[in-house]
Amino acid sequence: MRTIGLMSGTSLDGVDAAYVETDGERIDRLGPSVTIPYPSSLRRELRALLDAAPALHDEGRLAEPAVLEAARRLTEIHAQAVAKLNRPADLIGFHGQTVLHRPAKGPGQSGHTWQIGDAALLARLTGVEVVHDFRSADVAAGGQGAPLVPVFHRVLAESLPKPVAILNLGGVGNVTWIGPDGELVAFDTGPANGPLDDWARRSLGADYDRDGHLALAGSPDGAVLGRLMAHPYLDTPPPKSLDRLDFDAALREAGAGALSPADGAATLAAFCAVCVGAAARHFPDPPVQWLVAGGGRRNPALMKALASMLEAPVRPVEVAGWDGDALEAQAFGVLAARVARGLPLTFPGTTGAPHPLTGGRRVPAYA
């Protein structure tokens, strides 16, 4: 199948689109990819929506005008990304924008995950069948609904020495550990760029701390870091996943807000690495190497903190010949093909699904 994967991540920086030829099990060709950054006004709208989402959800106000308007703007930019790729496609994998993620906390409890985006509008604008809503079926079955990329990571990493750990540093961090027989252990590690971006906005008035300049100018605060390290998420065994804002209260309570701009950034970078170090304790065996994808691999402060925290070499995924900016978008092309073929997206080792589960919903192409 000729697929286009579309991912709008928790960093809210833009949409990534990638062309992939795949049957969902193998990759025949990884084609071009593009990113369309969101205008600042849409970033602000989405960031406000993340804050408002818990109340909107709890009050059943999912179709508020502000939500529909953000979904429409987001979807139109996704359609622009598809047009920019300019490749004939059979299927689009449309993740949408997560505004709230609250998987079930325990057996018998119900959870929910909310991605905004108008799949019918995207199908109309592109003339291509759209697969969307990749996470709900898993959450409804008691899974975490995230992460979803591990099954794609396994295809990519087929010929690499095992065990290997693939770390994505987006707004939130997530890791996939792949064992010698293709076993998967995957989960969200902790906050990554999300709090760093919020900090950069507050202290620099910038979207992010470019090249980690601010963090590299400071030092991690031992007391704040010590309080953060005691967060129960770190020791909780997988499966586990996070909302983009899950650590905000803990960061406030730990006193991060009182630090100087540089020390605050250094502390947040160090904490991201501490979370990854804690994640490694949940692996069945230590990985021979860490391959890092996502925007965080461009932040030298994060990469330095990771290298000093982890025992195996830590390198950007480009050393394996992959494109660390396109990986998640590529994954949603492959996942769309898996949905079309009824193949599982999630597994006991990834989301804690009770058994391998398919998911997603399909909107046919409009003529």
Ligand X SMILES: Nc1ncnc2c1ncn2[C@@H]1O[C@H](COP(=O)(O)OP(=O)(O)OP(=O)(O)O)[C@@H](O)[C@H]1O
Residue ranges for the known binding site for ATP are: 9-16
| Window 320-359: residues binding ligand X (CB under 6 A) | 328
- Exposure on the CB side of residue 311, measured as CA atoms within 13 A: 9
CB neighbour list of residue 130: distance below 8 Å, 6 or more residues apart: 91, 92, 94, 119, 120, 122, 123, 362, 363
| Window 313-342: residues binding ligand AH0 (CB under 6 A) | 328
Q: How far apart are CA 199 and CA 79, in angstroms?
A: 31
Q: Sketch the per residue contact string, 302 through 321, with ligand X: x for CB under 6 A, - otherwise.
A: --------------------
| Window 118-157: residues binding ligand AH0 (CB under 6 A) | 146-149
Residue 96 sits in the site that holds ligand AH0 (CB under 6 A) = no
Q: Which is nearer to ligand X, 2 or 102 (CB)?
A: 102
Q: Sketch the per residue contact string, 224 through 243, with ligand AH0: x for CB under 6 A, - otherwise.
A: -----------------x--
Q: How far apart are CA 129 and CA 92, in angstroms?
A: 6
Residue 166 sits in the site that holds ligand AH0 (CB under 6 A) = no
**Binds ligand X (CB under 6 A): choice among 3, 5, 9, 189:** 9
Select from ligand X, ligand AH0, none the partner in contact with residue 193, using the beta carbon and a kind-dependent cut-off of 5 to 8 Å: ligand X
Q: Sketch the per residue contact string, 8 through 27, with ligand AH0: x for CB under 6 A, - otherwise.
A: -xx-----------------
Q: How far is CA 111 from the centre of its chain?
A: 19
Q: Which is nearer to ligand AH0, 224 or 334 (CB)?
A: 334
How many Cβ atoms sit within 10 Å of the Cβ of residue 148? 26
Q: Which is nearer to ligand AH0, 197 or 263 (CB)?
A: 197
Binding-site residue set: 9-16
DSSP 363: E
3-state secondary structure string, 309-346? HCCCCEEEHHHHCCCCCCHHHHHHHHHHHHHHCCCCCE
Residues that contact ligand AH0, how many (by CB under 6 A): 16
Q: Which is nearer to ligand AH0, 2 or 102 (CB)?
A: 102
DSSP 160: S
Q: Tokens 């760029």 — which residue? A: 193
Q: Which is nearer to ligand X, 80 or 162 (CB)?
A: 80
Helix 193-204 vs helix 261-280: crossing angle, to nearest 10: 180
- Least separation in angstroms between residue 194's CB and ligand X is 7
Q: Three-class SS of residue 175?
A: strand
Residue 283 structure tokens = 């692996």
Residue 44 sits in the site that holds ligand X (CB under 6 A) = no
Q: Which is nearer to ligand AH0, 259 or 293 (CB)?
A: 293
Select from ligand X, ligand AH0, none the partner in contact with residue 299, using the beta carbon and a kind-dependent cut-off of 5 to 8 Å: ligand X
Q: How far apart are CA 326 and CA 335, in angstroms?
A: 14
- Least separation in angstroms between residue 187's CB and ligand AH0 is 8
**Binds ligand X (CB under 6 A): choice among 212, 238, 277, 359:** 212
| Window 66-85: residues binding ligand X (CB under 6 A) | none
Q: How far apart are CA 30 and CA 233, in angstroms?
A: 36
193 closest CA partner among 174, 221, 219:
174
Q: How far apart are CA 182 and CA 277, in angstroms?
A: 22
Q: How far apart are CA 66 and CA 84, in angstroms?
A: 27
Q: Which is nearer to ligand X, 240 or 298 (CB)?
A: 298
CB neighbour list of residue 54: distance below 8 Å, 6 or more residues apart: 100, 102
List residues binding ligand X (CB under 6 A).
Answer: 9-11, 13, 168, 170-172, 193, 196-197, 208-212, 294-296, 298-299, 328
